[in-house]
Amino acid sequence: AQRVTQPEKLLSVFKGAPVELKCNYSYSGSPELFWYVQYSRQRLQLLLRHISRESIKGFTADLNKGETSFHLKKPFAQEEDSAMYYCAFSGSRLTFGEGTQLTVNP
C-alpha cells in the first residue's frame, strides 16, 4: 500500500536556525516525490519535486531510496517559512502525508 509518513505534526525553530522536515514513504515502485506548502490564508501549492533537483526558497530535498526518505531541509530558516508542509508521492495516485506545521520564531 502507498503510504507517506511525516513524524512531526509540529516543528518550531528560531529564525536563522537550520530546519529539517522529515518524510518517509512506502511504495514498491519508483515514485515521483513532492513537497507541497500551504501558507496562512493561501492555497496549497507545489514547493519542489525531486526530479527537478532545484532549490526553491532555499529549501532542498534529497531522495534516499535506501531509507525511503525525502526530507526537506533549509540551512537558515526565515519567519516567512512558517507554513504547513506536506510531503507527497505519486505512485498510482498522489498520496499526501499528514503534514508538518512549521513555525519560525523571531
Partner 1 sequence: EAGVAQSPRYKIIEKRQSVAFWCNPISGHATLYWYQQILGQGPKLLIQFQNNGVVDDSQLPKDRFSAERLKGVDSTLKIQPAKLEDSAVYLCASSLRGADNEQFFGPGTRLTVL
Give the interface with partner 1 as residue ranges (CB under 8 A): 4, 9, 32, 43-46, 49, 86, 88, 90, 92-99
Q: Minimal distance in Å, beta carbon 46 to partner 1?
A: 5
What the block records as the C-alpha cell of 51 is 526530479
Q: Judged by CB, which is closer to partner 1: 13, or 94? A: 94
Pairing relation of β-strands 60-64 and 45-49?
unpaired
Q: Judged by CB, which is closer to partner 1: 11, or 94? A: 94
Q: Minimal distance in Å, beta carbon 106 to partner 1?
A: 27
Q: Judged by CB, which is closer to partner 1: 30, or 106? A: 30
Cα–Cα distance measured from residue 29 to residue 1, given in angstroms and rounded to the nearest whole number: 11
Determine the straight-line distance between the first and last CA of the chain, rounded to whole angstroms: 41
DSSP for 31-52, written as a single string: -EEEEEEE-TTS--EEEEEGGG
Q: Judged by CB, which is closer to partner 1: 17, or 51? A: 51
Cα–Cα distance measured from residue 81 to residue 53, given in angstroms and rounded to the nearest whole number: 20
Q: Minimal distance in Å, beta carbon 63 to partner 1?
A: 14
